[in-house]
Structure formats: structure tokens, C-alpha cells
Amino acid sequence: MKKSLIALAVAGTFAAPAFANVTVSGAMRLDVQNVSGIADKDTGSDGKGLHVNNNNSVITVSGSEDIGGGMKAGFSLTAGIPLTTTTTTAVSRQNQFLSLSGNFGQVRLGVHDSLSTVAGRSVDLFGNQSAGDSRTLTNVSSGMMDARGNDVIAYISPSFNGVTVALAHANMNTGEAADGGKINMAKLSYTNGPLSLAAVHQATDSTGSTNEKDLRVVGSYTMGDTRLVALYDNISNANGSDSADSKTWGVGAAHKMGPITLKAQYYAYDKKNNTTADANMWAVGADYSLSKRTTLMAAYSAVTNKSDATMGGGAAKVPGADTLNVVAGEDPKRFSIGVQHTF
């Protein structure tokens, strides 16, 4: 539940606040997971056992204000909550942007997820869980295919009979384009009742991943209490070489029964020029809503790696989750029980 705040209440006694409507929202996500099969069983050092994970706990401050002419100015500042006593672990920066909205659509400036990330998150039934997150297999390139960009300028069009266009340009690290390269993105979306489709094309230009390109297509369809989802991703010239080209596809389904949601998904990774580096993952789980804001979650995932593959060692860019080494050819398995509370 979002809680409305009186922005700059004291100052507002004498002058109007900077933004008329300011809210604070966020989520706390924690789970306990048991891990096995991530390293050579003969070494006795495979890191198996219990781990407590912070799965992208965040806090967001956002606001908007009518500025006349049918336009609104807005902002959103999201920070990851580290939930650790380690002094070297800083609050992680996440989406942070100013926006201007009107009949023309919306323009955003700041730090923002790539359009591929936005599309992938929309169809991941295990997003921000240490077991089953689709980024276990999709986050494989050196560019920004499943990442967040700096110096972002983005445009999101109004909906034209369900069709929306988004365009974005970003730099790839904390420096300017000359330091870390750039990425250009375009997204075409269509939503009509229970059907939602999106296609994203991204292209990077940098020393580390010259001309890397990504095409991602996602879709979902809701039938009553059942939701079906799918993703296809094709990366070419990954890491600046066609030797790392890959494609990934996934499907999933979720069914709601009162407070319980049962879900399952399957993802397969194909490294085009090395079949011994292929991998797949399947995951099953259940969510139980204790209230509108609190959900219990249980999940099990299993990754199958071919002889040169090392997938499944981490929580695939879920901030705060443990990252563990996987010996090539091993098959990581994770069972997690956790809780999410939104506010």
C-alpha cells in the first residue's frame, strides 16, 4: 500500500511544495534457500547448504505535479536496501529519473532499466526470487540486455488502439559514451484485454561489446484465473564475437486459486556455436497471499548444464542474493521459502 506524504510540510506553510503529490513505496523480499549441485562433488566445497537471500528489497520515493497545458512533471527515485552489516555494501542505485508527461506521451531522463529488462520482467513468474528467476539463463551478454543504463533519455508514446512505442538511448557505465559505449533501444508493445505482446531491439556500440545486438519478444495471455507467458531472446555478436551468439526461450503458466497461486516455467539456453555450453532450467512454486501486502513464497528450480555450461550459480542479477561458483557441467538445484511485504 502506498502511503501519501505531505511533501515538505513545514516549508509548505510558507510556499508550495516542489511536487504536489509525493508517495513512498517499496518492498522487502527475503528467503531461505537450500543449494546443491554447484561444484565438483569430489572437492567437498560446492557451497551447498542454507543461504538467506535479500531478493531486491527496495524503497521508492516518487511524485508528480500538474504544470498546466495538460502536462505533468514527475520523478521516481528507487534505491536497493542492502540488509547487511557489511560496511562496504552501499545502497544500490536503481531506477532514478525525472519525467514530463502530456498528450504527446512521456519523456524520462536519468537512470533506467533497459527496454529488454522491462519486457523480460513482465513475463517472469519467478522474478526477484532466488530460485527460478529467468535471468539465470537470459542474463548472458556483456552489454545491457538485462541491465540498467546511465544517462538515459527515453520516450514512451501514448497508446494508439493498444499499440505503444518506446525509444531509449543510454550510456553503458558510470562514464560518458567515450568511456563505456552506448546502447540504442526500441520497443513495440500491443495490449488488448487479456493479450499482451512486446518486441524489443537493442544495439550496443563499445569496445567491450562492439555492435552487439539483441532481439527479445515476449507475450502473455490471461484466461480467467490462469496466465500463460512466453519469451524468445536472440543475441548476436555477443561480447564482440559471433562465437558467443545465443538464443534463449521460455514458457510458463500461473493459476490462481483464492489466496494461492501455483506457477511453473521452463527456460532453455542455446549457445549457437558450442552445443556443449547449452543449459536449461525448470522451476515450480506456490505463492500464498496472507494479505494485500504480504505474500509467502516457495519455489524449487533445477538447472541442467551440458559439459561446458556454468549456469545457475547466482540469482541472475537479483540484488542482494548470493552468487555461488558453478563447476562446468554441474546441475545446480535450489529450494527456497520466503516472504515479500510491499508498502
Mind listing the pLDDT tens digit for each residue in 176-216? 334 467 889 999 999 999 999 999 999 887 655 467 889 99
Supply the mean pLDDT for the chain: 84
HSE-up (13 A, CA, CB side) for residue 333: 4
In this predicted structure, what is the pLDDT of residue 325?
76
The 3-state DSSP class for residue 242 equals helix
- pLDDT average, residue stretch 2-28: 58
In degrees and rounded to multiples of 5, residue 62 shows phi and psi of: -140, 160
- pLDDT average, residue stretch 2-14: 37
Q: Which domains, ranges and CATH numbers included, belong to the chain?
A: 3-342 (2.40.160.10)
- pLDDT average, residue stretch 268-286: 92
HSE-up (13 A, CA, CB side) for residue 148: 17
Q: Which of 49-53, 56-60, 248-252 has the lowest mean pLDDT?
A: 49-53
Mind listing the pLDDT tens digit for each residue in 247-257? 999 999 999 99
Query: pLDDT higher for 84 or 176?
Result: 84
How many CB atoms within 10 Å of residue 133? 31
Stated length of the chain: 343
Where on the phi/psi map is residue 281: left (φ > 0), alpha (ψ -120 to 50), or beta? beta
Q: What is the pTM of this model?
A: 0.86
Cell 518486441 -> residue: 199
